[in-house]
Structure 1
Amino acid sequence: MAGNQYEIIAWDLDGTLSHSLPDIAASLNMTLSEEGYPLLDEARIQSYLGDGVSALVERALSCSLSGNADFCLEKTMLKRVTDRYRDIYAANCTKRSRLYDGIPQILQQLSHKKQAIITNKPMLMTGRMLEHYQIVSFFGIVIAGDSLPQRKPHPEPVQLALRHFQKKAENMILIGDSTVDIATARNAGIAIAAVTWGYTDLETLAEAQPDFIIHKPEELLSIFN
């Protein structure tokens, strides 16, 4: 498809627009420390990203307690720790996070397109980060992990964006850094550009067969020429 047919650009947030890992990891380890549990290194926490807060905390807590991210946890404890992490992260989500180099310029250069955020991050933190980065005005709709009953990789967030802009699936491309984003696009029948500066290695992204693999933000412009 010619790039000029992509009238809607949907962006993932963490690992695509924003290098958010430092604040996520610090907040998660602060939560574990309060509970008296062993801390985790950033690389391990990075491997747990992509499926939302609940999955992140469950994997991290399981690993901290047992060394196994699939360790079965008691539901009441998991909810308590997850709620505490949400509070800590909400207060710290803009401390060390930053936009990747070149992202503000790309958002401006693509501002003639309709743009959206589709993230599994909760709306509270998403909104705070977009305001902090002063980029919220670029997006016609922001769809967070708690905006709908379903989140990525379910197609519902994409379908909401399409309804909002009154466009068809062939008119939309999702830009993200994870296999969750690739699966989301496939499930929704839209195009996907996978970026390599985020939290998933190139080999894993390539195996998932996105429509485009992008190594630098400025390369995104070639899709729309």
Structure 2
Amino acid sequence: MIYKAVLFDLDGTVLDTSDLIISAFRHTFQKHCNRELTPLEIHAFFGKTLRSAIEHFAPDKVEESIQSFREFNLVHHDQMTKIFSGVTETIQSLHEAGIMTVIVTSKTKKTALRGLKLFNLDHYFPIIIGSDQCQNHKPHPEPIQKALFQLEMKPEECLMVGDSPFDLISARRAGVKTVAVRWTRVSWKTILHEVPDFTLENMHELLAICGI
């Protein structure tokens, strides 16, 4: 076995929440700023925390904008959240092979759990590192380092799978090899600029990388 654990980003990697996130941002900034954000503007913040995105677009209306975003997300989350093809089967195969699976997300742990439970995946992820558990967020290495600490593993024993440059930078700074997913909404040129160690056309390809 080549790797003992796989760390996954959640949104855009395991779960398809792009439409939900874009709709929530548009609702929020139309309400508070009378401004229409483009998908490209929003995609640039995929992988970063909600607060950092709000502070960029509405620095004088941060708290009320965060509240509006979360209220919209709460109402529409379940109906607008989907799972990417091959994710469930791949995670099951990793589990059967004895490889640990971990979520490292810019969402809060509670919100991440809600998404995982929708697709009965929560029991595969005994460790979830959310934004509310870190002082520093991606692209800082702290979220990855916290996962390694809880796993009691060395960086070289793990992989990080993500859809944003922030996932890749965070993992690389922590000494963990990186896997970029081709179904990202982020510009592929931006992803390749971070020189991922591996790329996936579909999630099933992860099994070969892990020696399964």
- What count of residue pairs does the alignment treat as equivalent? 209
What is the Cα deviation at residue 144 of structure 1? 0.8
Equivalent position to 2:149, from 149, 153, 163: 163
Is 1:209 the counterpart of 2:206? The answer is no
What is the Cα deviation at residue 36 of structure 1? 6.0
5+ residue gaps in structure 2? none
Report the TM-score when normalising by structure 2: 0.91
Equivalent position to 1:94, from 58, 67, 78: 78
List per-residue Cα deviations over 1:186-218 (Å, max 9, x = no partner): 110111111111122322222211111111111
Root mean square deviation of aligned Cα: 1.7
CA distance in 1, matches of 2:99, 2:126: 10
Alignment check: 8 A CA contact 2:46 2:164 kept? no
Q: 1:115-194 to 2 correspondence within 5 Å?
A: 115-194=101-180
- Secondary structure of the corresponding residue to residue 93 of structure 1: helix
CA distance in 1, matches of 2:82, 2:137: 24
Alignment check: 8 A CA contact 1:116 1:141 kept? yes
What is the Cα deviation at residue 60 of structure 1? 4.2
2:27 alignment partner in structure 1: 30
Alignment check: 8 A CA contact 2:46 2:186 kept? no
5+ residue gaps in structure 1? 62-72
CA distance in 2, matches of 1:51, 1:104: 25
CA distance in 2, matches of 1:159, 1:47: 24
Structure 1 letter corresponding to 2:112: T
Report the TM-score when normalising by structure 1: 0.86
CA distance in 1, matches of 2:121, 2:85: 14
Structure 2 letter corresponding to 1:126: A
CA distance in 2, matches of 1:46, 1:159: 25
CA distance in 1, matches of 2:190, 2:26: 27
- Secondary structure of the corresponding residue to residue 208 of structure 2: helix
